A and B are shown apart, each in its own frame.
Chain A
Amino acid sequence: MLVFDYTKCTGCRSCEIACSFAKYSECNPSRARIHIVRMERYGINMPVVCQQCEKPPCKEACPTEAIYRDEKIGAWKVSESKCIGCKRCVLACPFGAISVYAEEGYASKCDLCDGEPRCVRACEEEALLYVTREALQNRRKRLESIRKLCINLVKTQVIGRM
């Protein structure tokens, strides 16, 4: 899945344009499946993109079971033939990462470009990274263990004495 480091993001939206070009051969960020929300007043740029949830609300909301998981890369995909464009998934997604465009008639969302996401390639700053689910679990674990260690260090005042 895609992980994001907002301290590195310049908010240039190269990922958006790369996504729309990859999917439609057109230049149109509003049809991209990743979207950077620029909060200029505070200098924060945050992406809206499918988190490839383990319990996806979009799938649960889908009346035609059009949303299925590609087991190889772990991405949730939309079956264009099954989707009826009812937009229940759009309402269900807590991130706003899935949309239905009238001219298409079915839901579109990030499908991780079959394991080679174009948005990640466009982000030379590595604010966007593509990792497997398993790697992310390990990352989380590592982070958790370090955090615990730090808390313990502070508690026992090792840092203070150093």
Chain B
Amino acid sequence: MYGWAGKILRVDLSREKISEEHFPKELRLKFIGGRGVNSKILYREVPPEIDPLDPEAKIILGCGPFVGTLVPAGSRNEFAHKGPFTFASCRSSFGGHFGPELKYAGYDHLIIESRAGKPVYLWIDDGQVELRDASSIWGKDTIESNEMIKQDIGDPEVHIATIGPAGENKVRTTCVMVDLWRAAGWAGTGAVMGSKNLKAIAVRGTKSIYVANPQRFEKACEKAREMMINGPRTPIYRKYGRLSNIEGLRMRGADGFENFRKPLMPEEAFMNMTSDKIVERIYIDKRDGCFNCPPPVSCGHPFKVRLNGEETYAAKIEYAPAGDMKCLGIHDPDFLARWVFEVNRLGLDTTGTQNVIAFAMECYEEGLINKKDTDGIDLTFGNKEAALEMLRKIAMREGFGDVLAEGTDLVAKKIKGSEKFAMTIKGARLHLDPRIGWGLMLAHATANRGADHLSGTPWLEFFDFAEVKSEKLGKEIFGHPKAIDPRTHIGKEYSVKWYQDWKAVVDSVGLCAGQEQGIALEYPGYDEVAEMLSALTGHKFSKKHLMVIGDRIYTIERAYNMRCGLTRKDDTIPERFFDPKTETCKFARIQTVDRKKFNEMLDAYYKVREWDVKTGIPTKEKLEKLGLREVAGDMEEIMNVLKRTR
């Protein structure tokens, strides 16, 4: 087989049964791999009514066809499972060197089922797969676990995905740490792994991935590589890594200061936390790359952490923890370094944890909770020690940490009157102020895994030129002159749908989200991906073909969400942004969000998607058009139930 490794590995933890399955051609051609195939397996195998931390729930890990091949920056892999805080389809993407290794071991996808009787880790050594005892590693942090597993296996070069104490304690906002410094964050995958008593997955692979048409493939990859290296963001990645958004967001009046209750951080405080300041204070003059990322564009910057007077080394700060420091009202690069090091060590998802702590801080300042509730911790905005102490308590589920470990939405249900402070969409934490632009707002509201800036934000509207020459571009690419004008709600459905479908393709082939056309038009787009994919796999893929696949993947994820009980009312943004009393900023593109306009935009979006406008459920015609006949029946059933209850 070309491009794909060709096998799916299934591990039943309770029965310790390990089996291999053929990766059917139909699935490959319809969903490509990675996120696409994951969502199909999730739809087919994980019953929507079960609890995400139930033994019956499954974790699906998938690598796209680009992973581990010559395709530059093609090393992104995906976890999929029912989300422990979204209670719907959820996924987590990660880079690094783990995914390629899994493919070299011969597997494209890995399905983990049921719950182990005692702590175990999974050891995949080419075709040999076994479950090993992890009792001695249980309770250790991610760094120590990583080293212990390497010792246990006796090879320092195996690649490991492991959870920390937070995952073991089933804290809902957890990540899986991959090879020490890469995190599969966002989705709470760590909690699901912890609920299965699965401490880690270690992998070593020595097999080949074959290429259908090597010459054509090499040429296509060379072209993509050139595009990436000459791309407009290369100098930014080189210097700042992924920190570059900090100033951009401020220019749009969207700092999201103190749990989004104020638009801007005070000037003086902000000056401590500019990307230049962070680079100067904590970065080391060195960079770290994911597998086959062209070295000039690698965005991983190692940084130094000052711990008890000693300097330690760690790698990669994303924009997320840096930007979300503002939600906590903190502005100190050294604290940022320490925070990132700690969340990685404990295996927590940084944004999710920041969100829940910021939420608790606002509740505390508003008097909804007091020192008695918080175990004597003074949870005020800007209190660094309190934030760090809360972090530890959440990971260990101690005292008030046990409450916050449930994630923002579930906590908000427990604290009376606190719902309005929960900055979440579909249970997932908000990370960017949706008032940056109408397109971003729509993408956030309709994203399948909740408040997600990574599954369809039309980044084009983010740039300055969006206000100047957007008409021509909007018409050319998306078919509507207002499609990327951030100031109006008209035409957003076209750009958002385009971006959502495109991102589904990118995540399915395994390309990096920082090196594709969604970020800037100079990067590889549909045509380049189609060319590389065709040459690699020997099947014919075209732009048109891929667009349908993107739509299909997005729709099946949506359909799973519908089965989990989500409807149109969940496609919204936090109430705070509709409230005229919320503080706004003069130079923000959107002041207060007009609910009528928002609903109009949503209507238009459903129409373009061919989903039912009233409920948001994909229509039968649309599903049949996409070749998802098996889904159509389920959707009809849900529609009937909704009609009856109405």
**A-to-B contact residues, CB < 8 Å:** 7-14, 17-18, 20-21, 24-31, 37-38, 40-43, 123-125, 127
Q: How many A-B residue pairs have CB under 8 A?
A: 93
Q: Report which residue of B100, B218, B229, B289 has the largest number of chain A beta carbons within 10 angstroms of its beta carbon.
A: B289
Query: B290 on the interface (CB 8 Å rule)?
Result: yes
In-complex Cβ contact of B292 among A12, A25, A38 (8 A): A12
Query: B288 on the interface (CB 8 Å rule)?
Result: yes
For residue A28, give the distance in angstroms from its CB to the closest CB of chain B. 4
For residue A104, give the distance in angstroms from its CB to the closest CB of chain B. 12
- Verify B295–A123 contact, CB threshold 8 A: yes
**Which of chain A's residues have a CB closer than 8 A to the CB of B293?**
10, 12, 14
Q: In the bound complex, what is the Cα–Cα distance between A124 and B237 (angstroms)?
A: 15
In-complex Cβ contact of B294 among A8, A24, A25, A124 (8 A): A124
- Verify B229–A10 contact, CB threshold 8 A: no
- Verify B179–A40 contact, CB threshold 8 A: yes
In-complex Cβ contact of A12 among B104, B180, B289 (8 A): B289
**Which of chain A's residues have a CB closer than 8 A to the CB of B143?**
41
- Verify B208–A31 contact, CB threshold 8 A: yes
Please list the 4 inter-chain residue pairs (A to B) with the smallest Cβ-Cβ separation, ordered nearest first. A12-B289, A125-B295, A10-B289, A28-B208
Binary CB contact string for chain B from 286 to 317 against chain A (1 if under 8 A, 0 otherwise) = 11111111111010101000000000010100
Query: B70 on the interface (CB 8 Å rule)?
Result: yes
Query: B465 on the interface (CB 8 Å rule)?
Result: no
Can you report 29 A-B residue pairs in the complex whose CB atoms are below 8 A from each other?
A8-B295, A10-B287, A10-B288, A10-B289, A12-B291, A12-B292, A12-B294, A12-B298, A13-B291, A13-B292, A14-B292, A14-B293, A17-B70, A24-B208, A25-B214, A26-B209, A26-B210, A27-B68, A27-B208, A27-B209, A27-B210, A28-B208, A31-B206, A38-B97, A40-B181, A42-B313, A43-B284, A43-B313, A125-B296
Per DSSP, are chain A's interface residues mostly helix, strand or loop, or mixed? loop
Q: In the bound complex, what is the Cα–Cα distance between A85 and B19 (angstroms)?
A: 35
Query: B207 on the interface (CB 8 Å rule)?
Result: yes
Query: B157 on the interface (CB 8 Å rule)?
Result: yes
Query: B211 on the interface (CB 8 Å rule)?
Result: yes
Chain B residues with a Cβ closer than 8 Å to the other chain, count: 41
Per DSSP, are chain B's interface residues mostly helix, strand or loop, or mixed? loop
- Verify A14–B295 contact, CB threshold 8 A: yes
- Verify B205–A27 contact, CB threshold 8 A: no
- Verify B206–A124 contact, CB threshold 8 A: no
For residue B155, give the distance in angstroms from its CB to the closest CB of chain A. 12
- Verify B292–A17 contact, CB threshold 8 A: yes
Query: B69 on the interface (CB 8 Å rule)?
Result: yes
In-complex Cβ contact of B288 among A20, A29, A43, A124 (8 A): A43
Known interface pairs A11-B289, A12-B298; A30-B205 also in contact (CB < 8 Å): yes
**Which of chain B's residues have a CB closer than 8 A to the CB of A13?**
97, 291-292
Q: In the bound complex, what is the Cα–Cα distance between A38 and B293 (angstroms)?
A: 15
**Which of chain A's residues have a CB closer than 8 A to the CB of B313?**
41-43
- Verify B286–A25 contact, CB threshold 8 A: no
Known interface pairs A14-B294, A27-B209, A124-B229; A40-B214 also in contact (CB < 8 Å): no
**Which of chain A's residues have a CB closer than 8 A to the CB of B68?**
17, 27
- Which residue on A lies nearest to B204, using beta carbons? A30
- Verify B298–A43 contact, CB threshold 8 A: no
- Which residue on A lies nearest to B294, using beta carbons? A124
**Which of chain B's residues have a CB closer than 8 A to the CB of A42?**
313
Known interface pairs A26-B211, A27-B211, A28-B104; A37-B292 also in contact (CB < 8 Å): no
- Which residue on A lies nearest to B302, using beta carbons? A43
Q: In the bound complex, what is the Cα–Cα distance between A42 and B300 (angstroms)?
A: 14
- Verify B210–A43 contact, CB threshold 8 A: no
**Which of chain B's residues have a CB closer than 8 A to the CB of A124?**
229, 294-296
Q: In the bound complex, what is the Cα–Cα distance between A17 and B366 (angstroms)?
A: 56
Within B362-407, the residues touching A (CB, 8 Å) are: none
